[in-house]
Structure formats: structure tokens, C-alpha cells
Amino acid sequence: MADKAAARATGARLLAAFREAGAVEVEADILQPAEALLDLYGEDIRARAYVTADPLRGEMMLRPDFTVPVVQAHMAEGAEPARYCYLGEVFRKQEHRGPRVAEYFQAGFEVFDRADPEAADAEVFALFARLLAPLRLRAAMGDIGLLMDAVRGLDTLPARKAALLRHIWRPHRFHALLERYAGLTPVPPARAALLTGAGQPEAPWIGLRDPAEMAARIAALRADAAAAPLAAEAVAQLDALFAVNAPAPQALAQLRALASDMPAIAGAVDRLARRLAALAARGVDLDSVRFEASHGRATMEYYDGFVFSFTAAGPGLPPVASGGRYDALTAVLGQGRSIPAVGGVIRPGLVADLEGRA
Amino acid sequence: MTLKLGVPSKGRLMEQTFDWFAARGLVLRRTGSDREYAAAVEGADGVELVLLSAGEIPRELAAGRIHLGVTGSDLVREKLADWETQVAELTPMGFGHADLILAVPACWADVDTLEDLDAAAAAFRRAHGFRLRIATKYHRLVRDFLRGAGVADYQLVDSQGATEGTVKNLTAEAVADITSSGETLRANHLKILSDGLIHQSQATLLAARGADWGNGAGGTLDGLCAMMGIDRPVV
């Protein structure tokens, strides 16, 4: 593992390159209010971030990333379009022994630009690809928005689509729900009894959840039971979409073929085509970039469009760089306002390691 | 160098631990007054008995301050990150059984599975503006379990005691706690989710991977394992 000085020096070099690419350097406090991060990420962040108590400000976290404070600063006072860069340490608890460290530098580059999202995606990826080119990393990309469009296009109840969309980032639950809606798994006995009119249990009502909330859910379960199961064909199409994993140009061809049966993804496939064209125009060799449809699904729910990573060979190591589009996050943090945003981070410590080994 | 054996310092868990070892030829007993935490060992040389709170035994094992310890399998998994790299399980001991379970109000007719809980949590968050609260002191076990099951929109709230009362007191919507008979849950109008079994715990004999096994401690372990009729762990 590179020492801090080497990581910092490498980070400074990356930061200079980000500035040269037009970004303004920003700072973020190391101590961040826990509430906003917890609200966004839920319980997972508590397992991954160091939480501490401030006597006046309450629960605080050692910053687990820069994205949230940078977005907050931009929403509060930024002019558009904007390009930001930053360098600093982030802190992540590690629950397992191994090569992952709890404290490391991130050098980041974020673009807030409404004009041409695919061009902004390509700008970030191409910049990272150029800076990391000497390390000969494995580059991969995906598009969470494509998956979301596919779900939105299903011919089924809006409630089912909403439940599936909520679990895009939790593949296990997503697929369990998909099988449930397709009628492929048996209805649990208690639900079957409830649907056939089992009465209210003989227990006093306790707790904050209101009887009306239960009534609403029972009504939703009844509506779900009355609706036609999701067509087996639709499930097969989704499975085929999630399984796409090929060099980007071939993946695009496969997705075009899938789109002929799934018109809902046609727009997203067109956007992917524009993104790939913009990448090629910036000199990225598309044959060396894999498009993996499920890329980014196992991360925290954050990215909702283009996602990418650059990874070195080596078991258990985190990606050297990763990033993506997070339009929805800006809407949540902007309290009504939003701006299309895309960005990513490089880990200078890993870059210094790989350069030292070369 | 003596091999230090940490056992629970009081109550039924201590008595059952003493009985378990006595049945295998190792007599452990407290010495001095009732209140003094002093102890003696008969039946093997080079073994020192250390009386500790069951909740502290995982930490003492992880630090290598004791070589062997008896505590609940739930406490080891909860208190030690990556527990298998820090301790080795020698044998389950067949007592101290308790289940860590997830329970919700019995009046929730629509919630019987984790899938139901997840759906109820999503609606609860929309209605109330915060995530559904689960009261527990087993944060790591519960979080890992719910992550594995893909449950979202919940938060854990810390409860170190009287956890079953938190729902009625409106400080939580669900609880994750240890139960053996389920009576306390029923008395507090809670029901266990049908797939809500998080961990089946029992008293377990453990060895510290990080303890100093030189200077005869390793040899003492060989002898003890032979007496207990268990496989010698790799520590």
C-alpha cells in the first residue's frame, strides 16, 4: 500500500489534470451531518461510515464520500453549468480483513450540465480513461437508467413497477419480486389466508403504524392478487437484458435487438448509442470497454443512469476509479430543484501502488 | 505459561458451564466468598479460570487475553467483525439456547414475511417521513440479515433492554431480540415473522486465534481437547 505522501502526491497530479479540464477545486468538511447521509442511504451507510457525536450538532459522520457535500454546495450557491474537482481523505469502516483500507484519498471530478447529458457522460469517462491509460485497467460501464426504463415499460400494475424500481439496487429482492409477480413462486400461507378473508388477529393495536396503513396494504395485496401475472415472456426479456455483458459495440447491437421487443428501452438505447459515439469521438477505444447491463446494481442506491469503473486485476481490491450519473440524488438534495449530474472518483493510493509496481 | 479459560461469572450460564466441564473431568469452582470472583480448576494442570461477563468474553478472546472462552454464539457474531478470523469454534455445548428473531406487532395482519416487512417499510416511510424503526442490541447480525434479504427503508434503533416494550412505547415499529419461549413477545403483543429467524444461539466453547499459544499453552490445549473429546482447532 502506498504511503500517504505518495497517495497525496498522485492525487495532486490528478487534481491538476481535473483543473486543466475546466474544474473548480472545492473543499468539503470531514465531519458531515449524519442525518442527510442516513436519509439517503439508509442503514447500510451506518455500517460503512464512522459515526460520532457532536455536542451541539448531534450525530456526525466522517465523510464517506464527497458527492453529497459537493451536490449540497452546488445546489446552495452554484452557477450552471459547473465542473468541480476535489482531493481528500474519505473514511469507510471495513467489516472484513483484507486489502481494503478504512481511510484513503479520493480525487474526484463532477459535471453539472443540463445541455447534453451523453456528452457529459463521455467527457468524464474519457478524461478518466486518458489519465488511467498507462495502468492498462479493465474498463466497464453500464446504465441503470436502461434497467429502470425496462421496468417502467412492463405491462403490469404501477404498484408492481414501483416495487421493482425500488429494488433495482438489491438484485436478490428484485428477482424474488419478479418471480412473485410472474406467479412463479407459491403465495405464502399467511398471505393466502389473508386474501381469502382471514379476520383481524385477536391482538390489541399497538405501535405508530396506523390501521389505515394496514388496510391500504391489504387493498394493494388484493389488487395484486386480482391482476394478471407478469407474462413469462416479459420476465425472460428482463433476464436477457440484465445478462447483457459484451464489448460496448456488440452490447449495443444486442440491446438494439432486445429493444425491438421492448420498445420502452428504445430511448435509453439511443442515448447509449449517442454516449458511445461521443466516447469514440473523444478517442476512447470502445472495443476495450465492456458494457455490463447489471453494472452498479450491487452498490448503494445512488446512480440512476450511466455507471462505470476501472479495475485492476487483483482479488478483493476495490476499483481504482468509479463513477456515474446521479440526477435523482440532486433532486433529493435540491428540495425541488435538480440538475443532471455525472462524476467519478479515482483512488490515488491505488494508482500510486500500480505505478510503483510497473 | 498457563492457559486462561474465560467462563461466565454468574447465573445459570455459569452453573451449566461448570456442569459441562465437570462431566468431562474438569472441575471448575468458585473460591472465596460468594461475591469474590476467584476460581479454581481441578483435573488439568496449567489451566487458569477467569470469571467474566458473558458479553465481554468475545472481546477478551479477540484481544488474546484469554485462550479459551465460553459465550453465546450470537454474542461472538455480534461483537466481533469477521469473527471467524479472530476465534475458532471448538464445540457447541448444548445449553443456553436462544433464538435471535425479528418480530412485529401481532395486529399487523398483512405482515408475515420479510417481503411483507419490506413492503410495509416502504409505505411507512412514505406516510411518516422516516424509516421504519427496528429496536435491537444486535446491530451487526440484524443489519447483515436484512441486507442479505434485500429489505430496505428501515433503521435500527438501539435498545439495550426491555426491547419488547419499544413498539407499545412508540419508539420502534418492530424488534429484533433473543427469545427462548416467545412468552415475552406474546405478552407484548408481538409475533415472529415466519422467515424472521436471524440466528439460533447456544453456549459455545471458543479458542482465541490471537492468543499466545507458546510456552506450553498449546500443549495444555492438546490435553484439554483430548479430555473433552473434541478436535484440536487450528489457532
The Cα of A262 is separated from the nearest Cα of chain B by a number of Å equal to: 27
Residue to mutate among A208, A302, A332, with most B CBs inside 10 A, is A208
State the ipTM, two decimals.
0.90
> Residue B53 is placed in which grid cell?
461477563
Nearest chain B Cα distance for residue A205, angstroms: 6
Q: Which of A209, A213, A217, A218 to probe by mutation at the B interface, max B CB count within 10 Å?
A: A209
Cβ–Cβ of B194/A42 closer than 8 Å?
A: no
Instruction: For residue B14, give how far its alpha carbon lies from the nearest alpha carbon of chain A (Å).
Output: 31
A93: number of Cβ within 10 Å: 14
Task: Tell me what the mean pLDDT of segment A158-181 comes to.
Answer: 94
CB count within 10 Å of CB B165 equals 18
Residue pLDDT tens, chain B, 235 long: 799 999 999 889 999 999 999 999 999 988 877 767 777 888 888 999 999 999 999 999 999 999 999 999 999 999 999 999 999 999 999 999 999 999 999 999 999 999 999 999 999 999 999 999 999 999 999 999 999 999 999 999 999 999 999 999 999 999 999 998 889 999 999 999 999 999 999 999 999 999 999 989 999 999 999 999 998 887 7
The shortest C-alpha distance from B45 to chain A (Å) reads 35
Radius of gyration of chain B measured on its C-alpha atoms: 21
Contact B159, B175 (CB under 8 A): yes
Query: Is A106 annotated among the ligand-binding residues?
Result: yes
Nearest to B170 among A96, A208, A218 (CB): A208
pLDDT of residue A300: 65
**Looking at chain B, which residue has its C-alpha nearest residue A98?**
B82
Q: Any binding-site annotation on A200? A: no
Q: Under an 8 A CB cutoff, do B143 and A198 touch?
A: no
Nearest to A6 by CA among A357, A345, A352, A347: A352
What's the full length of chain A, in residues? 358
In the prediction, which pLDDT does A358 show?
Answer: 58
User: Comparing A157 with B33, which gets the higher pLDDT?
Assistant: A157
pLDDT in tens, A42-67: 888 888 899 999 999 999 999 999 99
pLDDT over threshold 60, residue A1: no
- Among A354, A345, A249, A357, which residue's Cα sits nearest to residue A11? A345
Q: Do A96 and B82 touch (CB under 8 A)?
A: yes
Q: Which of A95, A198, A201 is nearest residue B107 as measured by Cβ atoms? A: A201
**Record: contact B122-A210, CB cut-off 8 A:** no
Strand partners, A269: none
Q: Which residue intervals of chain A bear CATH 3.30.930.10?
A: 4-150+243-357
Mean of all residue pLDDT scores within chain A: 93
For A356, the 3-state DSSP assignment is: helix
Q: Which of B161, B160, B104 is nearest to B134 (CA)?
A: B104
Contacting A with CB below 8 Å, chain B residues are 81-82, 85, 105-110, 112-113, 115-116, 118-120, 122-124, 127-128, 131, 140, 143, 146-156, 167-168, 170, 173, 189, 191, 194
Most A CBs within 10 Å, among B115, B145, B158, B191, to test the A interface: B115
Q: Which grid cell is B59?
A: 472481546
Q: Which of A43, A59, A94 to mutate to test the interface with B (most CBs of B within 10 A)?
A: A43
- Between chains, do B105 and A200 touch, taking CB under 8 Å as contact? no
Cis peptide bond upstream of A81, omega within 30:
yes
Residue A142 has pLDDT above 60, yes or no: yes
**What does the DSSP 8-state code read for residue B54?**
G
A208 contacts on B by Cβ (under 8 Å): 128, 170, 173
Task: Return d(Cα B206, Cα B14) in angstroms, integer.
Answer: 15
CB pairs under 8 A between A and B: 114
Quote the pLDDT of residue A301. 66
What's the Cα-to-Cα distance from A335 to each of A77, A110, A339, B199, rounded to whole Å?
Answer: 14, 20, 11, 41
- The pLDDT, as a whole number, for residue B32 is 76
| Contact across the interface for A176 and B105, Cβ inside 8 Å | no
Three-state DSSP at A198 gives coil
Contact B150 A173 (CB under 8 A): yes
Q: Is the pLDDT of residue A182 over 70?
A: yes
| Residues in chain A closer than 8 A to B189 (CB atoms) | 203-204, 206
* pLDDT given at position A97: 81
> A33 pLDDT exceeds 60?
yes
CATH among 3.30.930.10, 3.30.70.120, 3.30.70.1230, 1.10.357.10 for A4-150+243-357: 3.30.930.10
Chain A residues within 8 angstroms (CB to CB) of chain B? 38, 42-44, 46-47, 94-97, 163, 166-167, 170-174, 176-177, 180, 188, 190-191, 194, 198, 200-201, 203-210, 213-214, 216-218, 221
Q: Identify the CA nearest to B165 among candidates B181, B148, B177.
A: B177
Beta strand segments in chain A, E: 24-25, 31-33, 51-54, 58-62, 82-91, 103-112, 138-143, 245-247, 289-292, 306-311, 321-325, 341-346
What value does the mean pLDDT take over residues A253-281? Answer: 97
Q: What is the pLDDT of residues A214-255, one digit of tens each?
A: 999 999 999 999 999 999 999 999 999 999 999 999 999 999
Residue A207 to residue B152, Cβ atoms within 8 A: no
- Indicate the helix (H) or strand (E) that contains A152: helix A144-152
Query: What count of residues does chain B have?
Result: 235
User: Grid coordinates representing B119?
Assistant: 413492503
> Where do the domains of chain B lie, and which CATH numbers do they carry?
3-97+202-228 (3.40.190.10), 98-201 (3.40.190.10)
